[in-house]
């Protein structure tokens, strides 16, 4: 039978109306047979990541409160995905956007934000996430710009409580959901989703993950903060890691509620190399093209699966698409030119050969 589609049954007023309602997709070829694994694939958001939700809610909450004035410039520090989401939202709504970003993050992110009309100000890599964070604050204070404050704003976890979590509840209504696996990044996804899971699906175990070489939460060392909840310094347990979008060099305030209320059941570290390997397998064996943070979350889901009881159902968050990682280690070994096997295939028939 030929596949058919029917449309979404509605017309959209603008691109922002398409944020959310991302699919949960079953893993069929690389998951262990004794469990069922799903991924919530946030690349289906219009700018390609879970941060589209956060970006939109920051802008709309600020508009509603009056904190963001018509035509006012928005400024934010980001490793990329929040900046891309903000660039989309600001373009659709007519706000100028300035993003500060450490120079160590992928060039694709810079180009995507600039393509969407944003200005990107780079900060020295040795100053890490704290440096780009402080630069955004400095620019906001000097120019009277609106600082998005993704790491502290209530709009972050709130949008995940009211959209991401509700989608999960609807998709798994009447069905098992034994484990929910997520990294933390800003903390918004796990804080928002865990509010709902603890209340409505208390049987679901929440598994939190972070880079093995930047295990801030596992260290047990608290985050120094100022009176506004902002980080006062880099966290001493931080080391550079390849999982872009995960774990800045401080514990975000948005994550702190999950830590304080212990709204997770297990904390499992993961090495960046494992995340890269699983991202490659998801692409090559499942057709799911995702980034390093997604591969890392999935790697932890596979660790959970190893000891999960027979019949368990596991859901892993996949934050973004793989295209913004072309210049990173995710694409090491992926060449533009033909390899020996491809050259042999070319020469196996007589016509249309490259010189």
Query: Average pLDDT of 289-312?
Result: 98
64 is catalytic: no
Catalytic residue among 51, 128, 135, 205: 51
The whole-number pLDDT of residue 79 equals 83
Known binding site for pyridoxal 5'-phosphate: residues? 81, 185-189, 293
The whole-number pLDDT of residue 11 equals 97
* 18-76 per-position pLDDT tens digit: 999 999 999 999 999 999 999 999 999 999 999 999 999 999 999 999 999 999 999 99
| C-alpha pair distances (Å), 261 with each of 77, 154, 240 | 27, 16, 28
Query: Average pLDDT of 281-297?
Result: 98
Q: Which of 238, 210, 244 is closest to 105 using CA atoms?
A: 244
Task: Give the whole-angstrom CA distance, residue 318 versus residue 81.
Answer: 13
The verdict on pTM exceeding 0.85 is yes
Q: In this structure, which topology does domain 15-44+164-331 adopt according to CATH?
A: Rossmann fold (3.40.50)
User: Which residue in this structure is represented by tokens 């030929």?
Assistant: 2
Q: Tell me if 15-44+164-331 shares its fold with 51-147.
A: yes
* DSSP secondary structure letters along 270-324: E-HHHHHHHHHHHHHHH---B-HHHHHHHHHHHHHHHHSPTT-EEEEEE-BBSGG
Q: Is the pLDDT of residue 312 over 90?
A: yes
- The structural domains of the chain, with segments of one domain joined by +, span 15-44+164-331, 51-147
Known binding site: residues? 81, 185-189, 293
* 165-206 per-position pLDDT tens digit: 999 999 999 999 999 999 999 999 999 999 999 999 999 999
Q: Alpha helix (H) ranges present in the chain?
A: 51-65, 81-93, 107-115, 128-143, 154-159, 165-171, 188-200, 216-219, 253-260, 272-286, 292-307, 340-347
Catalytic residue among 191, 293, 296, 312: 293
Number of H helices, E strands in the chain: 12, 10
51-147 is a CATH 3.40.50.1100 domain = yes
Query: Average pLDDT of 262-289?
Result: 97
Share of the chain above pLDDT 90, in %: 94
293 is catalytic: yes
Q: Which of 290, 293, 281, 289 is closest to 241 using CA atoms?
A: 293
């Amino acid at each position: 039978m030929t596949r058919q589609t029917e449309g979404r049954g509605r017309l959209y007023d603008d691109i922002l109306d398409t944020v959310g309602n991302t699919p949960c997709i079953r893993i069929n070829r690389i998951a262990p047979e004794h469990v069922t694994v799903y991924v919530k694939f946030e690349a289906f958001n219009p700018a390609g990541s879970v941060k589209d939700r956060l970006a939109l809610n920051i802008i709309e909450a600020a508009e509603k409160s009056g904190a963001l004035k018509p035509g006012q410039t928005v400024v934010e520090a980001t490793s990329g995905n929040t900046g891309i989401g903000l660039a989309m939202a600001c373009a659709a709504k007519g706000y100028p956007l300035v993003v500060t970003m450490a120079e160590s993050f992928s060039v694709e992110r810079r180009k995507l934000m600039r393509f969407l009309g944003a200005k990107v100000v780079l900060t020295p890599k040795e100053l890490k996430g704290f440096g780009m964070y402080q630069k955004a604050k400095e620019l906001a204070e000097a120019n009277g710009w609106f600082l998005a404050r993704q790491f502290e704003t209530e709009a972050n976890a709130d949008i995940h409580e009211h959209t991401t979590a509700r989608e999960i509840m609807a998709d798994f209504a009447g069905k098992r959901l034994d484990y929910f696996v997520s990294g933390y990044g800003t903390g918004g996804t796990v804080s928002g989703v865990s509010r709902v899971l603890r209340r409505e699906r208390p049987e679901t175990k929440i598994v939190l993950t972070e880079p093995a070489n930047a295990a801030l939460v596992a260290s047990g060392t608290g985050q120094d903060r100022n009176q506004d909840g902002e980080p006062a310094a880099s966290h001493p347990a931080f080391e550079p890691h390849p999982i872009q979008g995960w774990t800045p060099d401080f514990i975000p305030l948005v994550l702190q509620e999950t830590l304080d209320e212990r709204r997770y059941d297990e904390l499992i570290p993961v090495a960046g190399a494992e995340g890269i390997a699983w991202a490659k397998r998801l692409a090559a064996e499942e057709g799911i093209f995702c980034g390093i943070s997604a591969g890392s979350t999935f790697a932890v889901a596979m660790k959970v699966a190893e000891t999960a009881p027979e019949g368990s159902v596991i859901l892993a968050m996949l934050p973004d698409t793989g295209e913004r990682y072309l210049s990173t280690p995710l694409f090491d070994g992926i060449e533009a030119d033909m390899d020996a096997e491809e050259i042999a295939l070319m020469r196996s028939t007589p016509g249309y050969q490259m010189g």
